[in-house]
Amino acid sequence: MLANGSGRLLGFYQVRRPPRENLLPYLAKLLDVPVDADLNDAAIRLLRDNIDVPRGIALPFSVQRRFLESSPRVQQAIGKLKMALELDVPDVDRLCLELQRLIRSTRIPDDLREAVDSALVSELGGVRTFVVRSSSNAEDLAGFSAAGIYESINHVTSADRIFASIKEVWASLVSPRSVRLRQQAGISLDDSYMGVIVQEQVDGAIGGVMVTTNPLNRNDFRNVYVNVSVNSVIDVVSGSELPIQYLYSTVEGDGRTVSLGDAPADLDVAARQQLQRLAIAGRLLQAHFSPDYTFDSPVDVEWIADEKRITIVQLRPYSA
């Protein structure tokens, strides 16, 4: 999309949102262009001038399935866990831990390993440090966010560690906690899969999570919510640090600090201006990825920033 543009970027602003009859003049002001300018061109320019996406490869669900099917012992352990879940017996946690151990210790078949290695050489040659991220179909669902229950591994530097980390991500799908939570939500083990994303690791001065809505008032079409860590975005995602919290208007512009969290002081003016640009970019991306033509469906964006650029490391649908 950054390379080729998109005809959907203005979608959110093209819809009447009472009491605002026309949001396009507000967008023009945010983009610092005249009302009669080509707003789509200005929107893609804002994204290209401010947003980066790290290089990476994606391992689809089928790779995990082929790995699991390659080991009779793993298949037997899966069968035992399914039976225990059906009978609701006390052995579930023990069986989960045993299945995790088998997944970690089972070698990835050579053909799969070679295919992944080839993709890494082709797409990520020259990268020194990687992040191995989870991407499951059993997360970000209505009534089941799965926040924090699947593993992502940072600071991975060797081929062996990449493959071990891939298996660690797969194993997190069957941790006792994730299995129990999905069971409570009515999501069966048969319907749960895990993809893996291997990305170049990007570092920055600040990072956090943005959701393109106001979680405290879903009728508020103006504001998006941004939380920020000056230490580690991982701390924000895991919940081990209370972030600085902001609401930024994507209509009139400007933002306000909701909470300083664990931070001793607020961010400086330049950083807060950068967050305003992030908020606008988030609204444009919400429109681009919208599943319908109301352009109302918010997205959840994990981001990292230095003084010049913002890197979006993950974007997915937001579910309250």
Lowest mean pLDDT among 4-13, 143-152, 179-188: 143-152
pTM of the model as a whole: 0.87
Per-residue pLDDT tens for 178-226?
A: 999 999 999 999 999 999 999 999 989 999 999 999 999 989 999 999 9
Residue 174 has pLDDT above 70, yes or no: yes
Report residue 26: phi and psi, to 5°. -65, -40
With H, G, I as helix, E, B as strand and everything else as coil, classify residue 304.
strand
Q: What's CA 166's distance to the chain center, in Å?
A: 17
Confidence at residue 126, expressed as pLDDT on a 0 to 100 scale? 97
C-alpha to C-alpha distance for 210 and 226, rounded to whole angstroms: 4
Q: Regarding predicted confidence, which is higher, 144 or 315?
A: 315
Confidence at residue 230, expressed as pLDDT on a 0 to 100 scale? 87
Confidence at residue 8, expressed as pLDDT on a 0 to 100 scale? 98
Is it true that the peptide bond before 19 is cis, omega within 30 degrees of 0?
A: yes
Q: Mean pLDDT throughout 12-23? A: 95
With H, G, I as helix, E, B as strand and everything else as coil, classify residue 75.
helix
Q: Which two tokens stand for residue 61?
A: 């669900």
Q: How many CA atoms lie within 13 A of 2 on its CB side?
A: 12
> Nearest to residue 248, comparing CAs of 239, 240, 257?
257
Q: Mean pLDDT throughout 293-303? A: 96
Residue 169 has pLDDT above 90, yes or no: yes
Q: Which two tokens stand for residue 128?
A: 């020194």
Confidence at residue 139, expressed as pLDDT on a 0 to 100 scale? 83
Confidence at residue 167, expressed as pLDDT on a 0 to 100 scale? 99
Q: What's CA 230's distance to the chain center, in Å?
A: 19
Say if residue 106 is exposed, middle or buried (CB neighbours under 10 Å; 0-12, 13-18, 19+). middle
To the nearest 5 percent, what fractions of the chain are helix, strand and coil? 40, 20, 40
Q: What's CA 286's distance to the chain center, in Å?
A: 13
Residue 16 has pLDDT above 80, yes or no: yes
Laid out side by side, the sheet with 130-136 consists of 56-59, 194-200, 130-136, 153-156
Neighbour tally for 195: CB within 10 Å: 18
Per-residue pLDDT tens for 35-77?
A: 999 999 999 999 999 999 999 999 999 999 999 999 999 999 9
Is the CB of residue 10 less than 8 Å from the CB of residue 30? Answer: no
Give the end-to-end CA distance of the chain in Å, rounded to a whole number: 27
Confidence at residue 241, expressed as pLDDT on a 0 to 100 scale? 76
Residue 145 has pLDDT above 80, yes or no: no
Residue 26 has pLDDT above 70, yes or no: yes
Neighbour tally for 259: CB within 10 Å: 12
Angle subtended at Cα 182 by Cα 179 and Cα 188, rounded to the nearest 5 degrees: 90
Name residue 292's beta-bridge partners: none
Residue 238 has pLDDT above 80, yes or no: no
Lowest mean pLDDT among 14-23, 147-156, 255-264: 147-156
Q: Which two tokens stand for residue 225?
A: 């919510």
Confidence at residue 233, expressed as pLDDT on a 0 to 100 scale? 67
Strands 255-259 and 244-249, how do they pair? Answer: antiparallel
pLDDT classification of 231: cutoffs 50, 70, 90: confident
Neighbour tally for 105: CB within 10 Å: 11
Residue 144 has pLDDT above 90, yes or no: no
Q: For all residues of the chain together, what is the average pLDDT? A: 94
Q: Which two tokens stand for residue 276?
A: 């305003």
Residue 237 has pLDDT above 70, yes or no: no
What structural domains and CATH numbers belong to the chain? 11-54+203-317 (3.30.470.20), 56-200 (3.30.1490.20)
Residue 303 has pLDDT above 90, yes or no: yes
